[in-house]
Amino acid sequence: MLTKYVPDKYQKSIYTINYKKLKREGIKCLIFDLDNTLVPASVNEVSKKLKDFINDLKIMGFKVIIMSNSPKNRVQIFQKALMVDAAALSFKPNKDKYEKIIKLYGFKAEDIACIGDSITTDILGANKMEFTSILVNSMSKSDHYIKFFNKLEEKRILNNLRKKDLLVKERYYD
Ligand SMILES: [Mg+2]
């Protein structure tokens, strides 16, 4: 079943997603992956561009949450600087943390969009939860918190998706 890895939308980066359209589609909450989605995995600070961007989303009325498989000390840097709620060590695509978020904020599945760079964690997890899943390209090749095996697995599935014409890199859709 390859379709569970196929995102509802695929965009170049967090900055090219049509958030007005998401709003019209009824999305109230945006759950962002951290590493290689909001910032390159090696970066430890928040740029003005990112800060302004997150602020604009808040002004639009979205609840913004960072959900990362990275450890707490890393996630907290961004949580504080961007003044958003965040979950560390999320074990995506495991459902537990997603279900906690739904309960905590009282959202329904159709209220939530998840944005991330990995089909085996961010997209699979969001699809399992029946959230809107949005894939973006990785901001860098290295990701400290992704094991070598997982990278191979991600590559293998991407290859199969391409062969079946289900997902082709850089063929964006919204
Ligand atoms: Mg990531």
Domain ranges of the chain: 2-163
What confidence tier does 54 reach under pLDDT thresholds 50, 70, 90?
very high
97: CA distance to ligand 1 center in Å?
16
Predicted local distance difference test score (pLDDT) of residue 144? 64
- Write the DSSP symbol of residue 70: S
Percentage of the chain exceeding pLDDT 90: 88
CATH number among 3.40.50.1000, 2.60.120.10, 3.30.43.10, 3.30.56.10, domain 2-163: 3.40.50.1000
Distance 156 CA to ligand 1 centre (A): 17
Q: Residue 63: which H helix or E strand, with range? A: strand 63-67
Tell whether the model's pLDDT for residue 145 goes beyond 70.
no
Distance 110 CA to ligand 1 centre (A): 23
- Rounded distance, CA 51 to CA 145, Å? 24
Can you give the pTM of this predicted structure? 0.95
Identify whether the C-beta of residue 112 lies closer than 8 Å to the C-beta of residue 29.
yes
Mean pLDDT lowest among 46-50, 90-94, 135-139: 90-94
